[in-house]
Amino acid sequence: MMKDRLFGAGVALFLVITATIALHAQSSREAREDELPAVALQPVPTLAPIIERVSPAVVNIATRGSVEVQGQGNPLFEDPFFRRFFDVPEQFGPRERQFQAAGSGVIVDAENGYIVTNAHVVDNADEITVTMRDNREIKAEVVGSDPASDVALLKTEANDLTEIPLADSTEARVGDFVVAIGNPFGLQHTVTSGIISALGRSGISPAGPQSSYEDFIQTDASINPGNSGGALVNLRGELVGINSAIFTRTGGNIGIGFAIPSAMVNNVMEQLIEFGEVRRGLLGVQIGNLTPDLTEPLGLDITEGALVTQVQAGSAADEAGIEAGDVIVSANGKQIGDANELRNVIGLQRVGDEVQLELIHDGKRRRITAELGELEQSEPVVAQELHEGLAGAEFADIDENSPVYQGAAGVMVTAIAPGSPAFLSGLRANDVITHVNRQPISNLNELREAAEGANALVLALQRGDSNLLIPIR
């Protein structure tokens, strides 16, 4: 009996001590909280909910393929007859080299299995494997690719996919917070954050004429090799851009990355789905930037716009009444600051679309409507058939939308084989041939006609800011 009383008294004492300690702890905690600033009591900001929602839509893309490489650079080694006659080993001629590459992609349509990535990620790919967030590996096929905008569209038959909705990138502002998601250096689903540093960047792509349409979003969110094709997402969890390029002197991120805006991605994607290619409308003008040294001679009181330097006969511009010397200051309600901005606006339009233009003509503002025509492709040219001295060169039309040379009309030298006759004559990649034997040319067909039957050629060309004459014998 005595033991029971002692046990009960001990329990009661324990409860009293425990309650006292708890009360003291609560009082101490309340006292400390009273001393803390109000911000310390708020929930900690986090991007985790957004990342958790959109990450499953960002995928890893692995490609396998082959490219042709030259053996010794001498064009004679490319001739099968020469190699057979002189018993030249096969390794001296063209051969295929297998490659593997990796990048990122974004699921934009879960129901149809559409994945957007960069064109350069899947270039020359024979096999494409997509790895999902849940580690599923599936095959994908290329629906279409547009090197001019560096956008490609893939399709997969997988189920249970997650998509990211597209934002209206035209509403993006400098200073908006963004998140970059991708697979840099093979580190899958790496997330970095930053802000939009600038809008409308151009002249970034090293591909030159192969990437003609540039309206990049610049961001300081870390983008590295392997991020290409990944997502740039706003704080609403919407896709504001596709990561595409970086500016670097070391090969890694230095805080300057570039993404293709979602408005351009969506336009290209719709055409790739419908046609398998992008069919851009043609206005039919050669344009250049309106520089301060031109405004006074032209009697203009404006400093921005695209100066029309040439109008193609019978083109949409010609039929709408546009003339050389006019300055286009607005297209479809968008103010035009320079030639590149006009290229981007026209480059997003299809054949047959109507474009509302505002321009300065003879000092007066005019508003006109132009129905865009279709870009006519010239027949391919075999350089050696034009002239033996051109062997080793590859040519392509240069149209009004190419940013390589402002206002230049002519034929682009797209590639030169080292050691070839064309190379030894002085031709280089990205040269623009404007005249052949003093005859102006604007496309491959005119190049063919001007060179036909000529024993020797004198090519007038533009290389950067220089004008050159190159004899071809």
Q: Is 4 a catalytic residue?
A: no
Contact 268, 275 (CB under 8 A): no
Catalytic residue among 104, 146, 149, 150: 150
Q: Is 205 a catalytic residue?
A: no
Catalytic residue among 104, 120, 338, 397: 120
Residue found by looking up tokens 């997969």 in the block? 156
End-to-end CA distance of the chain: 126
Residue found by looking up tokens 């899947």 in the block? 122
Tell me how far apart the alpha carbons of residues 373 and 392 are, in angstroms, rounded to a whole number: 33
Q: What share of the chain is helix, strand, coil (3-state, %, to 5)?
A: 25, 35, 40
Catalytic residue among 193, 202, 222, 228: 228
Residues 6+ apart with CB under 8 A from 71: 77, 91, 92, 93, 94, 95
Q: Which two tokens stand for residue 92?
A: 């001296």
Tell me how far apart the alpha carbons of residues 242 and 118 are, in angstroms, rounded to a whole number: 8
Tell me how far apart the alpha carbons of residues 398 and 148 are, in angstroms, rounded to a whole number: 12
Concatenated DSSP letters for 33-69? HHHS-GGGGSPPP-SHHHHHHHGGGEEEEEEEEEEEE
Question: Quick count: other Cβ atoms within 10 Å of Cβ 347?
Answer: 23
- Taking the C-alpha atoms of 109, 272, 69 and 213 in order, what is their torsion angle to the nearest 10 degrees? -100
Q: Within 13 A of 9's CA, how many CA atoms are on the CB side?
A: 6
The number of angstroms, rounded, from the C-alpha of 266 to the middle of its chain's C-alpha atoms is 13
Q: Is 402 a catalytic residue?
A: no
> Smallest Cα–Cα separation from 115: which of 152, 154, 149?
154
Residues 6+ apart with CB under 8 A from 448: 379, 381, 386
Spell out the alpha helix ranges (H) of 259-416.
Answer: 262-275, 292-295, 316-320, 339-347, 383-386
State phi, psi for 91 to the nearest 5 degrees. Answer: -65, -10
The 3-state DSSP class for residue 445 equals helix
Tell me how far apart the alpha carbons of residues 261 and 126 are, in angstroms, rounded to a whole number: 28
Q: Longest C-alpha distance within the chain, in Å?
A: 130
Active-site residue list? 120, 150, 228
